[in-house]
Structure 1
Amino acid sequence: MEFLPLVGIVLLFWLFIIRPQSRRQKELRSMQSSLSVGDEVMLSSGIFATVREIEDDHVKVEIAEGVVIKVARAAVGSRIEQHVDEAEAENETPGAVADGPEEN
């Protein structure tokens, strides 16, 4: 009976700290292993880059036009999702009419 509060604290610690952290690490490793050429990424140092070449344990990324650096695959912190701005999407739709008076 004395150890019941201690067991409860350990269980809560595992549930709220260790389990979510291991899940994030697993997702990060999965993302790093599924990189492909042309992906926009952010390195763990905060540098935005485009993947140009993938090798076993490292990738070559382009950080500026013509500037390619070789980094460890583990240095890739996240993949940048390409979002199309809704306003741009409306302007690019085929058959869109420019703003102005309509003629009937």
Structure 2
Amino acid sequence: MPMVGSPGLNWRRPYDDLSYLAMDTPPDVAEGVRGCLTEFGLTYGAFDFGLDTRGMWHVYECNPHGQYAWFPGRITGQITAAIAEQLQHFDRERR
């Protein structure tokens, strides 16, 4: 989720001035994420991305135990549902 309104490089300050926007992941970025998860044997990873002024995506890291509950409920619910769906169908996808 991109953070809108960050006054500088450290987007974590000030929290109250930030807003969040859900957006579609470009197909090539999604493919890279799936490849990374497969390569490292992960079912879940919280990826940190940055977008430059041209709209290019840059990956910073993958947190295999990344947290997301601090996002607003409308976003947290979508992430939780996606993780639950993945875990429900884990065996089916690995065969």
TM-score tier (shorter): under 0.3
More strand by percentage: 1
Q: TM-score, normalised by structure 2?
A: 0.23
Give 1 or 2 for the bigger CA radius of gyration: 1
Q: TM-score, normalised by structure 1?
A: 0.22
